[in-house]
Chain A
Amino acid sequence: MAYTVPKLTDFSTKALEKAAGDLVAALDAESKAVGSEAEGKIFRDRWMARKNGALTLVNEWLKAAPKASKREVGQRVNELKARVEQTVEATLERVKGGASESQLAADGVDITLPGLHRAVGAEHPILKTMNEIISVFRNLGYSVEEGPEIETDYYNFEALNFPPNHPARDTQDTIFLAGQESKPARDRLLLRTHTSPVQIRSMEKMKPPVRVVCPGKVHRNDAPDATHSPIFHQVEGLAVDTNITFCDLKGTLDHAMKALFGSSVKTRFYPSFFPFTEPSADVQISCIFCGGKGQRDGGPCRNCKASGWIELLGCGMVDPNVYGFVDYDPKKVSGFAFGMGVERIAILKYGVDDIQLFFQGDVRFLEQFG
């Protein structure tokens, strides 16, 4: 029932108090209900219109009041007048340009519908992993160096201490360029089988101290299947200085593996053979899937074949013969080199089960890395 201004007969203070209270209560309640500019106007007219506005009716109180009460009623009426004007003004201000609750409700959307997407491209998991590796070594002071994908026999083999006709070359499954027969053996072109040639190129360019990482694409004559690809990526690293030891090699790679796979990862080094390093080592990390236990989900861990270790990279102290090719004095300097397959690390990190997925450009695969 809408509020109407009563005609007063009792002008006692108490009665006035009540009448004023009722009016203010009604005013506030109605003000609150105002939700739009249009409603605001109706509200204003109802309370302030010269003809039949609530205030006009309140003025009647003064007219009807006995003389003795006129002063008190007048004061009261002025107060109410100010109160009404203030409230109306505030109400109008509130709804100016705004919307009522009902309007807001009507403007609502189904917020459970999917968002409007502006697709962002995904970094390739190989390049993303490669950049992570580079960043770990940059933080240790390594600069990035690059070299050509088509190399000479000299850089890919000879200067890395793979003599011609050495069985170690067999492990490389090299793809050769056609029409090289007329050239001297060391100038014959091939697709680099590792990024190690960049080591030689870097040392030719600069004098010790040297700290470089060499990321890049390499090629082998491997027919594609789930675990082989004719193209893959490596990051090679090289540090040469007057003070580099095998302990430094171990510490550096242990640090790098912890940075890449988490600080709880352990490393294990065991002897291996690469023509361009000596002593040479293979590095294993404690299995990141079973935490090095060899057991997972109540059975043997498949990722590390229950050994608790995963083989990850090759490394070693730079073979003194290599220094001979770049005019470094092996009596004065020492250094280490390491190389890791990026695909292998990405496969581990992301649990990819087929290396071909990296080279098909399948957006269903790539977008998972966005």
Chain B
Amino acid sequence: MKLSPQWLRDFVDLAVANQRLADDLTLAGIAVESVSGEGEGAVFEMDVTTNRPDAMNHYGVARECSAIYDLPLKPIEPKLPVTSAAKAAPVKAAGGTTEVVPSRGTPRGSAEVAPSRGTPRGSTEVVPSRGTARGTTEVVPSRGSPRGTTGVGTSPGASAPGVPFPIEIQEPGLGPRFTARVVRGVTIKPSPAKIARRLALLDQRPINNAVDATNYTLWEMGKPTHVFDLDLLEGGRLMVRHAQLGETLKTLDGVERKLTSEDLVIADARKPVSLAGVMGGFDTMITEKTRNILIESAWWDPVMIRKMSRRHGLHTDASHRFERGADFESTVLSCNRVAELILESGGGELDGGVTDVVAQRLDQAPVALHLSEVYRILGEKLETNEIFRTLKHLGFDLIPERGGDPDFTVRIPSWRLDVEREIDLIEEIARLHGYDKFANTLPAYAGAVVELPDAEKDTKLRSSLLGLGYNEAISLTFISHEDAETFSALPVIELANPLSEEVSVMRTSMVPGMLNMLAYNLNRGSDNVRLFEAGNVFEASGAKALELERICLGATGNALAPGVHQAVRAVSFFDLKGDVETLLHPFEYGALHFTAQAAEYYHPGRSSRVLMDGVIVAQFGQIHPDVAGQRKLRQDVFVAEFFLDHLYQHGLRKVRYEALPRYPAVGRDFSFAFADDVVFEKIQQTVAGLHLAEMRSFVPVEIFRGGATPAGKYSILLRANFQSGERTLREDEVAGWSAEIIKVLERLGGKLRA
């Protein structure tokens, strides 16, 4: 959104230069993103927060300026000719709550139309302009009648004629106020240069003097209005009603829209003529032929506008403001302002006065303000005078309370629908005091840091992975349907509005993301890659979404950094297995078992599942060549997956110190030939079955195939280490155990070699 600082200066006599003004506004919460241009052509690029529709126009920002610099705010006072009296229009009320208050041509001279205080009708009292009351300490006393009564009560003197036909509000909750007036004999033509230039500065395309008048008013005071070609309104009446099923409306953008019964429209006797508060109708718009104009300024329910605007995919400057809350009390003033601008540029004359239909008042309850609460939240005592002055400038009425509890009752201006509670006032006080003026303190605290239950395990695994040479990576949380099917049996969770088909479900496996990252590297000439990612996979479980923690490792290329010092060797299954074993080692468990059954996307002969005390905690291996081929991975890749939901059922091993051996160890080597189907696990379990108390380890040292070893067999060099904690072992003892080992291994089919 853009604003013109020169336009701001119409309303406040600002002495500061534009850049300084921009900084001061930003520090007061009306963010100016950038300043460009000079003089009349200067532009502020604004970033006004969504809660401040009142500051999405020049007058609202000028009001902020008046509070920042303690300067008076000039009123907007449309100068309209006094019209000859005509008879007041008959008005049909829905639900008995609609009431029409004919209004004289020139109402109160201020944009800051005071929230109705329930001034009795017929009273000649004129509420003084807030804009001219700056710096005074005057407190407007609370008026007698409660709010929420009907009637606007701003019309001094006799009733004046309004729109020459009835206006009927059928939905007082959604369109509680509808103000209109008529201008006749207008010449439609381009806007005067000043208007056109200012609109162009804000990137608003000038259209014609009547439409530009509404646009200008919107950017000046924030109130959206609409102009109809009066002669194209049929049937002599206007209604605010729900659309009927089957009705259509061609909106100003030329789109023929099908309406639903949830849409709210302004309709004449025959047809909808405007999508209320969002966009006017094409068929009743102002054209070069237009002579007579109906100016509409209404107030619409924000939620209704938002739903309708979304339903039709139609976001307009008007809907943007209405859905954030427009100024309920500015309908008459904006209507008059549009009329003034049209008369100035297009001639013609007013036909009667303003018709102001108020079907339901907006309830803005006053707010109690305690200075003690201001102190409790902000932490610093502020001058009461400063609080008073600041809020006054912003249009709040502070009424001191006797007894001081609360200190003030505060009446909220009609343009600040965002202010409903004491905390909202405290924010106003704080932001205009200047956040940076508050001290920086650190609060005292009586409490302790509590660790997450798995924090230690997470840290252990992560530091081990980094130590093992895996780079930490993060991939997307979404995958394609196809990948979900290939890499998991979990029921998928689909996204309603995915970024694309390729990323349309929540990942059920970390593997596709890992393979994508490995491929990304291989495609960029990085052939030696080790990565890991810790994250969640997602599973649909009835109406619920389960999140399961996983760690995924990926490795491809050389096992060790290539160089002049050692031969290159590709990563193998056993590199991964070693890493898996290292990572699982810190956990407390009884037995670790590697089985050959891993998921189908693994190479059937080079993959394994890891069972910790019978529960699968990991699977790993080489990716199946078919899967690798489909993903265009041009070298073998290895992946390991850890299922932390299962693994973390185990605690970390509690280390107990074991006395260091004081007696020498004795090693014995055994060279055997076995048939291929005698796997090492069998050999190991057989020897373990001897339960030799002094045997400290039993490991394979070398394996040969081919050469002197016939096909279908392999040679293996095994080493047993013996040691006692109590004494030096005797030669004959060791020889005895060795003989036992040889015996059981021969029974297993092994043939002892020389």
Interface contact A270-B440, CB-CB below 8 Å: no
List chain A residues, Cβ under 8 A from B514. 361
Q: Does A143 contact B (CB under 8 A)?
A: yes
List chain B residues, Cβ under 8 A from A122. 466, 471-472
Interface contact A117-B561, CB-CB below 8 Å: yes
- Taken together as a complex, chains A and B put the C-alpha atoms of A165 and B380 apart, in Å, by 36
- Taken together as a complex, chains A and B put the C-alpha atoms of A230 and B477 apart, in Å, by 9
Segment of B489-497, B588-596, B640-648 engaged in the interface with chain A: B489-497
Interface contact A246-B520, CB-CB below 8 Å: no
List chain B residues, Cβ under 8 A from A124. 471-474
**Given the contacts A116-B561, A117-B561, A144-B455, A127 and B472 also touching, CB distance less than 8 Å:** yes
Q: How far is the CB of A258 from chain B (nearest CB, A)?
A: 10
List chain A residues, Cβ under 8 A from B470. 121
Interface contact B471-A121, CB-CB below 8 Å: yes
Q: Does B29 contact A (CB under 8 A)?
A: yes
- B436: which of A127, A223, A268, A360 is its contact (CB, 8 Å)? A268
**Given the contacts A149-B536, A270-B27, A364-B526, A121 and B472 also touching, CB distance less than 8 Å:** yes
| B interface residues, tally (CB under 8 Å) | 92
List chain B residues, Cβ under 8 A from A160. none
List chain A residues, Cβ under 8 A from B506. 150, 177
- Taken together as a complex, chains A and B put the C-alpha atoms of A241 and B518 apart, in Å, by 48
Q: Mark B416-429, 1 if CB is under 8 A from A, else 0.
A: 00000101101100
- Taken together as a complex, chains A and B put the C-alpha atoms of A252 and B443 apart, in Å, by 8
List chain B residues, Cβ under 8 A from A191. 477, 495
Within 8 A of B (CB), among A322-370: 334, 358-364, 366-367, 370
Q: How far is the CB of B238 from chain A (nearest CB, A)?
A: 27
- B496: which of A148, A178, A251 is its contact (CB, 8 Å)? A178
Segment of B144-152, B209-217, B444-452 engaged in the interface with chain A: B444-452
- B440: which of A114, A148, A165, A250 is its contact (CB, 8 Å)? A250
Q: Does B691 contact A (CB under 8 A)?
A: no
Q: Does A95 contact B (CB under 8 A)?
A: no
Q: Mark A138-149, 1 if CB is under 8 A from B, else 0.
A: 101111111011
Interface contact A167-B444, CB-CB below 8 Å: no
Q: How far is the CB of B105 from chain A (nearest CB, A)?
A: 36
Q: Does A133 contact B (CB under 8 A)?
A: no
**Given the contacts A118-B561, A209-B447, A146 and B452 also touching, CB distance less than 8 Å:** yes
- Taken together as a complex, chains A and B put the C-alpha atoms of A224 and B475 apart, in Å, by 13
List chain B residues, Cβ under 8 A from A67. none
Interface contact A362-B441, CB-CB below 8 Å: no
- A272: which of B49, B446, B448, B452 is its contact (CB, 8 Å)? B49
List chain A residues, Cβ under 8 A from B376. 245, 334
Interface contact B447-A211, CB-CB below 8 Å: yes
Interface contact A278-B424, CB-CB below 8 Å: yes
List chain A residues, Cβ under 8 A from B323. 167
- Taken together as a complex, chains A and B put the C-alpha atoms of A123 and B532 apart, in Å, by 10
Tally inter-chain residue pairs, CB-CB below 8 A: 253
Interface contact B543-A183, CB-CB below 8 Å: yes
Interface contact B438-A246, CB-CB below 8 Å: yes
Interface contact B307-A270, CB-CB below 8 Å: no
Q: How far is the CB of A315 from chain B (nearest CB, A)?
A: 10
- Taken together as a complex, chains A and B put the C-alpha atoms of A272 and B561 apart, in Å, by 52
Q: Does A6 contact B (CB under 8 A)?
A: no
Segment of A33-41, A54-62, A168-176 engaged in the interface with chain B: A168-176
**Given the contacts A148-B547, A279-B426, A358-B474, A245 and B441 also touching, CB distance less than 8 Å:** yes
- Taken together as a complex, chains A and B put the C-alpha atoms of A211 and B448 apart, in Å, by 9
Q: Does B618 contact A (CB under 8 A)?
A: no
Q: Does B521 contact A (CB under 8 A)?
A: yes
Interface contact B421-A219, CB-CB below 8 Å: no
**Given the contacts A114-B563, A150-B538, A231-B476, A363 and B526 also touching, CB distance less than 8 Å:** yes
Interface contact A251-B439, CB-CB below 8 Å: yes
- Taken together as a complex, chains A and B put the C-alpha atoms of A177 and B441 apart, in Å, by 43
List chain A residues, Cβ under 8 A from B708. none
- Taken together as a complex, chains A and B put the C-alpha atoms of A221 and B503 apart, in Å, by 12
Within 8 A of A (CB), among B465-502: 465-478, 493-499
Interface contact A126-B564, CB-CB below 8 Å: no
Interface contact A317-B377, CB-CB below 8 Å: yes
List chain A residues, Cβ under 8 A from B536. 149
Interface contact A359-B475, CB-CB below 8 Å: yes
Q: Does B531 contact A (CB under 8 A)?
A: yes
Q: Does B566 contact A (CB under 8 A)?
A: yes
Q: Mark A92-132, 1 if CB is under 8 A from B, else 0.
A: 00000000000000000000011011111111101100000
Q: Does B163 contact A (CB under 8 A)?
A: no
Q: Does B565 contact A (CB under 8 A)?
A: yes
Q: How far is the CB of A100 from chain B (nearest CB, A)?
A: 26
Q: Does B665 contact A (CB under 8 A)?
A: no
- A120: which of B451, B467, B531 is its contact (CB, 8 Å)? B467
Q: How far is the CB of B378 from chain A (nearest CB, A)?
A: 5
- Taken together as a complex, chains A and B put the C-alpha atoms of A145 and B451 apart, in Å, by 9
CB closest residue in chain B, given A139: B449
CB closest residue in chain A, given B538: A150
**Given the contacts A363-B529, A370-B471, A247 and B494 also touching, CB distance less than 8 Å:** no
List chain A residues, Cβ under 8 A from B565. 113, 116
List chain B residues, Cβ under 8 A from A255. 440, 442
Within 8 A of B (CB), among A195-248: 209, 211, 217, 219, 221, 223-224, 230-231, 239, 241, 243-248
Q: Does B306 contact A (CB under 8 A)?
A: yes
Q: Does A320 contact B (CB under 8 A)?
A: yes
- Taken together as a complex, chains A and B put the C-alpha atoms of A224 and B307 apart, in Å, by 29
List chain B residues, Cβ under 8 A from A114. 563-564
Q: Does A153 contact B (CB under 8 A)?
A: no
**Given the contacts A116-B565, A124-B473, A317-B377, A247 and B438 also touching, CB distance less than 8 Å:** yes
List chain B residues, Cβ under 8 A from A251. 439-443
Q: Mark B4-30, 1 if CB is under 8 A from A, else 0.
A: 000000000000000000000011110
Q: Does B430 contact A (CB under 8 A)?
A: yes
Interface contact A269-B474, CB-CB below 8 Å: no
List chain B residues, Cβ under 8 A from A149. 477, 536, 538, 547
List chain B residues, Cβ under 8 A from A138. 449
Q: Does A281 contact B (CB under 8 A)?
A: yes
- B26: which of A270, A273, A319 is its contact (CB, 8 Å)? A270
Q: How far is the CB of A218 from chain B (nearest CB, A)?
A: 10
The list of the 7 closest CB pairs from A to B, nearest first, reads A271-B29, A245-B379, A361-B517, A273-B49, A247-B379, A251-B440, A269-B435
* 6 more A-B residue pairs beyond the given contacts A241-B443, A361-B533, with a C-beta to C-beta distance below 8 A: A217-B535, A231-B477, A271-B28, A278-B426, A279-B427, A361-B531
Chosen A-B contacts, 28 in total, with CB atoms closer than 8 Å, are A118-B560, A120-B467, A123-B466, A138-B449, A141-B449, A143-B451, A146-B452, A167-B323, A167-B324, A175-B497, A175-B498, A177-B496, A178-B494, A180-B496, A217-B477, A230-B476, A247-B438, A248-B443, A251-B443, A252-B443, A254-B440, A278-B424, A278-B427, A279-B435, A359-B476, A360-B520, A363-B526, A363-B529
